[in-house]
Amino acid sequence: MTELPAEFCDRPLLSAKTLGSIRARLVARLAPEVLNPFDRTPEREATLRAAIGDILTDPELDLASTPAMIASVEAAVCGLGRLQPLVDDPDVSDILVNAPDAIFAERAGRLEPTGVVLASPEELVEVAQRIAALVGRELSFAHPIVDARMPDGSRVNAVIPPVGGPYLAIRKFNRLRLDIGPGGRHGRDWVTDGGMSADMAEFLARMVRAKANVLVAGETGAGKTTLLRSLTDLFDPAERVGVVEDTAELALENPDRFNLETIHPHDLATGEAENRLLDVGDLVANALRMRPDRLIVGEIRLPKEAFYTLQALHTGHDGSATTIHASSAEDALFRLELLARQSMRDLTIADLRTYIARVFDLVLVLRRLRSGRRIVRQIAALDGVGPDAAYRLVDVFRSVRTDGSDTVTWVATDGWQPPDRLASRMELEA
């Protein structure tokens, strides 16, 4: 259970008007990352408290600039009150507030009750409004839903009456970095953590060098972004990498890269995915003009994104990758096909499947087990389509679980030979 620091328990006896005035002055004075409650550092904390102390000396506020008052104002204006310790806990990845006394956190892939209790629904609404205000958003009766990204990449979704709730869902920015295999620079890897076998890691490293195009699939929280990040660590440092994302999450370390991120309208009523000012499809089209050697698309969700990603990868940029929500290789291709069909109506199903099969070489499928461990459960090679227009998918590796447990072993397909196109790329790599 998370212990609550004393400074978060005492609420300042200040009016909403006074707190609003202090918040407005801080927003005008400090950079967004300093105010971000999801990415505090000792240096930012010192800068923030110094600014609050200076503001409190203003005679118009008639407040004492004492350490206790500074800490209390910080918690009320920028912090998240009783939720702040969960935000500061590096082991917590998600915070889900269903009610003031029903707050859950995800640690190591498992949701668990926290024991943290807010004083009232009104306090929960105040915390949500505080978060929205820090990124220039309004959460009110007229705008009862906010989906916001914080400066560090954390995502916050808040819902208040009359729509429902109040509810709050916080997904902290994922900073986990895993090497594909042991001996990498990050100190942790998929093999040692039990996410794949050593043979799989060696195979994936060779596929990256051979510039295979990869589709990474999995359900929410399965580790798609983490695996995609791990694969990009294997790119040649001399290669130029273009990254297109709906929300900046990958945080790649490649030396020659550029990052493009979508623009959302502030009002959710006009901010559905189809109505973004600039969406992933637009940015993929623009990224091609910026001379990338490899293209990384964070996730395919919409028909336009599917269309432009397929176009980009079909016309070059070998060694590219993207992700999609699906629970198997077959489902991943089917979902991609459904999305692409809406933008490519002139193609028959057979032609569309042939088109997709000419783009991707491998489909990687991840799964989160009951224990919270994330594994690569399937690596499938795509070898065009058959006479019946069905995808020719062959498992190169697949996971095998013991019934009733999370014990996993991986099995390689005996006698597997790479398809002609993949074989030619592997020959060039060798």
Mean pLDDT in each 10-residue stretch from start to end of the chain (430 residues)? 43 70 86 80 87 89 84 79 85 92 89 91 89 82 86 85 92 85 90 94 94 94 91 94 83 89 55 58 88 91 90 87 94 95 89 93 93 92 91 94 79 89 78
The helix (run of H) or strand (run of E) holding residue 409 is strand 408-412
Q: Compute the distance between CA of residue 351 and CA of residue 294 in angstroms, rounded to an integer.
A: 25
Buried b vs exposed e over 298-328: b needs ≥16 C-beta within 10 Å?
bbbbbbbbbbbbbbbbeeebebbbbbbbbbb
119-137, pLDDT tens digit by residue?
899 989 988 988 888 777 8
Q: Compute the distance between CA of residue 95 and CA of residue 164 in angstroms, rounded to an integer.
A: 18
pLDDT in the model for residue 407: 84
The helix (run of H) or strand (run of E) holding residue 237 is none
pLDDT in the model for residue 159: 95
- The residues with which 148 forms a beta bridge, in sequence order, are 156
Q: Compute the distance between CA of residue 311 and CA of residue 333 in angstroms, rounded to an integer.
A: 16
Cβ atoms within 10 A of the Cβ of 289, count? 8
Looking at this protein, which amino acid is placed at residue 350?
Answer: A
Q: In the chain, where are the structural domains located?
A: 6-171, 198-429
What dihedral angle (degrees, nearest 10) is formed by the CA atoms of 46, 47, 51, 54?
60
Structural tokens at position 236: 């040649």
Could you give the residue ranges of the DSSP H alpha helices within 30-66? Answer: 32-35, 42-56
Contact predicate 100/123, CB 8 Å: yes
- Give the β-pairing of 92-99 and 102-107: antiparallel
CATH topology for 6-171 is Beta-Lactamase (3.30.450)
Q: How many residues does the chain have?
A: 430
| Residue in 167, 172, 36, 33 with CA at minimum distance from that of residue 91 | 172
Q: Would you call 329 helix, strand, or coil by DSSP?
A: helix
In order of 89, 115, 151, 350, the CA distances from 172 in angstroms are 10, 19, 11, 42
pLDDT in the model for residue 333: 96
- Cis bond leading into 37, ω under 30°? no
pTM of the model: 0.78
pLDDT in the model for residue 1: 44
Query: What CATH number was assigned to the domain covering residues 198-429?
Result: 3.40.50.300
pLDDT in the model for residue 410: 93
| Residue in 6, 105, 137 with CA at minimum distance from that of residue 372 | 105
Contact predicate 33/151, CB 8 Å: yes
- The residues with which 176 forms a beta bridge, in sequence order, are none
Q: Compute the distance between CA of residue 256 and CA of residue 411 in angstroms, rounded to an integer.
A: 37
pLDDT in the model for residue 404: 65
- Cis bond leading into 166, ω under 30°? yes
| Chain centre to alpha carbon of residue 294 | 20
pLDDT in the model for residue 262: 79
Looking at this protein, which amino acid is placed at residue 91?
Answer: D
What dihedral angle (degrees, nearest 10) is formed by the CA atoms of 33, 34, 37, 40?
100
Q: Compute the distance between CA of residue 328 and CA of residue 356 in angstroms, rounded to an integer.
A: 16
Q: Compute the distance between CA of residue 379 and CA of residue 145 in angstroms, rounded to an integer.
A: 39
Q: Compute the distance between CA of residue 325 and CA of residue 206 in angstroms, rounded to an integer.
A: 25
151-207, pLDDT tens digit by residue?
777 889 999 999 998 999 998 887 788 999 998 888 899 999 999 999 999 999 999
Q: Compute the distance between CA of residue 12 and CA of residue 305 in angstroms, rounded to an integer.
A: 48
Cβ atoms within 10 A of the Cβ of 162, count? 7
